[in-house]
Amino acid sequence: MRILSVVALLLLGVPGLAAASPSDTDVVVHDLDTDGVADYWTPQRIAAMPTGPSAPPGTPAVDDPTGAPAPNSRTIGRLFFVDRDGEDSSCTATVVVSANRRTAVTGGHCVHTANLIGQDPRWHSKLLFVPGFRDGTKPFGQFVVRKAIVNQMWITDDQRSEYDQAFLVLDKPSDVSENIAFDRPATRFAREYGYPRAAGQPGHQGRPEFTGQRLAQCWGTPAHHPGYPGQTTDENLWGVPCDMGGGSSGGPRISGNAVVGVNIQSFNLDENGQWVPSGQGVRHLGGAQFSWRITAPLHQRASTSH
């Protein structure tokens, strides 16, 4: 029911949602240069992007809850961009219900990042969203991204993972979209989707679903990221066991027929649900559960932008 109430408020212009929003200084809208973006992303440029290792010859393919092919989607797609260092890269994004019918959601670090020591933050450029990208083709067209919208906290401190989420305003409307929900219970069964360019398990490595060419998925009951040793804040991060690597960032976590979060980072947990270093325990992929406090104001601003 909350999904319907959000859409109704947006479409009718009811001020109740706006009254609950933070001040304008908490929402940052970045206008992107759209000139030449579609021409920049040639098939050759996309094919030249690096991918992870391939499995040794004869390695059997593995399809399980930690990684498997996903049906092609008209709402989930690959998001191409030039990063802060001028390198071609990609994430995943999803079209969601909105008043303007041209709003997509992804990870904050897919649109804006600082350097390795947290300094010199910059916006990414040449953002192009391709829903249903498959084997180098664009079966449902492409959308140039006109605006990127994040919380001011993500601009200020990119170590605050709970704010690692962004909304995109596309150059034209989409006929399809996913529901979006805020403050849903995080422990309900979920599926995560993405266009990973790498994977850790030999049974996944080198396959189209794990080299950015096709959509992949993981599924299960999300676990809570308890934080790293010495961390004093709970950033409300949740994720399922998953082998999807880089490129899956920004992909949706869908639960109860709605997007409730996006992939932003991996974390490993032991049998007691405690954080352990990479290579130990079980690798999870997750991100913040969407909230009325952080996510809803960003969605509202994107939904009413053109």
Residues 182-196: tens digit of each pLDDT: 999 999 999 999 999
Q: DSSP characters for 102-139?
A: -EEEE-GGGTEE--TTS-S-EE-EEEEEEET-BTTB-T
Among residues 300, 293, 304, 236, the alpha carbon closest in space to that of 22 is found at 293
CA 302/CA 287 separation, integer angstroms: 20
Strand partners, 103: 169
Tell me: do 130 and 114 sit in the same domain: yes
pLDDT exceeds 90 at position 165 = yes
Instruction: Tell whether 15 and 29 lie within a shared domain.
Output: yes
Residue 66 lies in a domain: no
- Residue 217 and residue 250 share a domain: yes
Average pLDDT over the chain, rounded to whole? 91
Tell me, what CATH number does 275's domain have? 2.40.10.10
Which residues constitute the domain of residue 268? 190-288
**Which amino acid is residue 87, in one-letter code?**
E
User: What letter represents residue 263's amino acid?
Assistant: N
Residue 156 has pLDDT above 60, yes or no: yes
Q: Is residue 68 part of a domain?
A: no
Report the pLDDT value the prediction gives residue 35, as an integer from 0 to 100. Answer: 97
pLDDT confidence bin for 306, thresholds 50/70/90? confident
For residues 252 and 118, state if they share a domain: no
- My answer on whether 214 and 276 are in the same domain is yes
224-266, pLDDT tens digit by residue? 999 888 887 788 999 999 999 999 999 999 999 999 999 999 9
Three-class DSSP category at 24: helix
Give a yes or no: residue 246 inside a domain. Answer: yes
Residue 58 domain-assigned (yes or no):
no
- pTM for the model stands at 0.92
Same domain, 158 and 275: no
* DSSP single-letter state for residue 290: P
77, 194: one domain: no
pLDDT of res. 228? 87
> Could you tell me if 29 and 109 lie in one domain?
yes
Q: Please say whether the beta carbons of 68 and 207 come within 8 A.
A: no
Residue 38 pLDDT > 90: yes
Q: Are 149 and 32 in contact (CB under 8 A)?
A: no
Same domain, 145 and 213: no
For residues 100 and 135, state if they share a domain: yes
* CA 135 to each of CA 43, 89, 100, 152, 198: distance values in angstroms, whole numbers, following the listed order: 10, 17, 30, 36, 15
- Asked whether residue 220 is domain-assigned, the answer is yes
What is d(CA 235, CA 79) in angstroms, rounded to the nearest whole number? 25
Report the domain count for the chain.
2
Residues 243 and 123 in one domain: no
Is 62 within the bounds of a domain? no
Residues 15 and 98 in one domain: yes
* Statement: residue 6 has pLDDT above 80: no
Whether residue 20 lies inside any domain: the answer is: yes
In a domain, 183, yes or no: no
More confident residue, 21 or 304: 304
283 φ, ψ (degrees, to nearest 5): -75, 130
Q: What is the pLDDT of residue 3?
A: 36
Average pLDDT over residues 273-296: 96
Q: What is the mean pLDDT of residues 126-144?
A: 98
Q: Is the pLDDT of residue 42 over 90?
A: yes
- For position 70, what pLDDT does the model report? 98
Tell me if 105 sits within 8 A of 93, measured CB to CB. yes
